[in-house]
């Protein structure tokens, strides 16, 4: 069944979410904080250390939940996460309570499939202030060719110079088993039989886990490890990551943040066309 273009501009239902320090600590470990040397990044992995507990900026991507508009239906077995963006307008509290609302911004014809672009506003429940805005692109295989617009392009290009920073992180063979506890229980990342049926030889790492590792790298390389300086991040998912894979994040600093991409150990790009901005000049 073809995707109904009449839903462009439609909003989903409002959802309410709460989280505690336990959730933010788990997320930090799930995206590699403290791996290899537990004495590092204690501000993200502990709540009772002298450094004080802080929250990784990309946690907002799992903390805020949203629902599609009533009546909008797609075949979830053919859907892939194509890209992700978030913008922070304030610090994420260790214990939080928010309301989230999604809207469909566009449905684009990519030939072999359709790209559904959404935005989710995340509002602090008590104050009513906008805390963050999330953007996501979902690619639905087999739903293209309807003659629609292809969608905007951003003109991203790799700088013609060596990266200013290269950060390398090893993922664990059990990384997906840890990350799934943050909320994404898709068996593609844990069940070998399901993974084979989906066309993979074994379970793969969550794309959003790779995204979280990359956000950690940007926090340390560009924002001086200070979450209050982290403004926004965008990346396009280009290749699945195998469990136990080594990730290399290449960072080119810009006047207001950085351009980046994430590679696997074979040299293939797994997150491309990356942009990151700072919330305040350093």
Helix segments in 127-179, DSSP class H: 175-179
Give the pLDDT confidence of 107-165 residue by residue, as tens digits. 999 999 999 999 999 999 999 999 999 999 999 989 999 989 999 988 899 899 999 99
Give the pLDDT confidence of 36-94 residue by residue, as tens digits. 999 999 999 999 999 999 999 999 999 998 898 999 988 877 888 999 999 999 999 99
3-state secondary structure of 177: helix
Q: Active-site residue numbers?
A: 184, 189
- Please state the length of the chain: 282
Stated pTM of the model: 0.95
Q: Write down the pLDDT at residue 281.
A: 46
Average pLDDT, the chain: 95
Tell me how far apart the 2 most distant CA atoms of the chain are, in Å.
59
Helix segments in the chain, DSSP class H: 21-30, 42-45, 60-63, 175-179, 192-197, 207-222
Which residues contact residue 96 at a Cβ distance below 8 angstroms, ignoring those fewer than 6 apart? 17, 18, 19, 63, 124
Strand order in the sheet with 246-254: 15-19, 96-109, 113-124, 130-141, 79-88, 230-237, 269-278, 257-263, 246-254, 165-170
Cα separations (Å) of 249 from 10, 35, 59, 262, 264? 36, 16, 19, 4, 9
Q: Which residues pair with 75 in a beta bridge?
A: none
Residue 282 confidence (pLDDT) above 80: no
Residue 1 confidence (pLDDT) above 60: no
Give the pLDDT confidence of 153-209 residue by residue, as tens digits. 888 998 999 999 999 999 999 999 999 999 999 999 999 999 998 889 999 999 999
89: exposed, middle or buried (C-beta count within 10 Å: 0-12, 13-18, 19+)?
Answer: middle
Number of H helices, E strands in the chain: 6, 12
> Could you give the CA distance from residue 143 to residue 1 in angstroms, rounded to a whole number?
8
Residue 104: name the closest of 130, 69, 75, 153 by CA: 69
């Amino acid at each position: 069944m073809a995707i109904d273009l009449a839903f462009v501009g439609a909003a989903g239902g409002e959802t309410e979410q709460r989280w505690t320090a336990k959730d933010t600590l788990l997320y930090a470990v799930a995206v590699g904080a403290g791996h290899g040397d537990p004495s590092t990044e204690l501000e993200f992995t502990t709540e009772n250390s002298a450094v004080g507990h802080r929250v990784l900026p990309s946690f907002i991507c799992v903390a805020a939940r949203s629902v599609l508009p009533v009546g909008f239906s797609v075949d979830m077995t053919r859907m892939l996460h194509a890209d992700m963006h978030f913008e922070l307008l304030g610090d994420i509290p260790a214990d939080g309570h928010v309301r989230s609302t999604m809207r469909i911004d566009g449905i684009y014809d990519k030939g072999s499939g359709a790209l559904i672009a959404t935005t989710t506003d995340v509002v602090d429940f008590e104050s009513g202030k906008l805390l963050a805005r999330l953007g996501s692109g979902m690619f639905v295989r087999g739903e293209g060719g309807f003659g629609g617009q292809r969608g905007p392009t951003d003109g991203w290009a790799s700088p013609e110079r060596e990266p200013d920073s290269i950060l390398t992180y090893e993922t664990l063979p059990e990384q997906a088993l840890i990350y799934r506890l943050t909320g994404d229980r898709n068996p593609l990342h844990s069940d070998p039989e399901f993974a084979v049926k989906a066309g993979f030889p074994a379970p793969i790492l969550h794309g959003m886990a790779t995204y979280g590792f990359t956000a950690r790298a940007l926090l340390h390389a560009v924002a001086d490890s200070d979450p209050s300086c982290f403004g926004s991040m965008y990346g396009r998912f280009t290749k699945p990551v195998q469990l136990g894979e080594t990730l290399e994040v290449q960072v080119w600093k810009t006047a207001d943040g950085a351009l980046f991409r994430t590679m696997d150990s074979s040299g293939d790009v797994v997150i491309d066309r990356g942009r990151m901005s700072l919330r305040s000049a350093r």
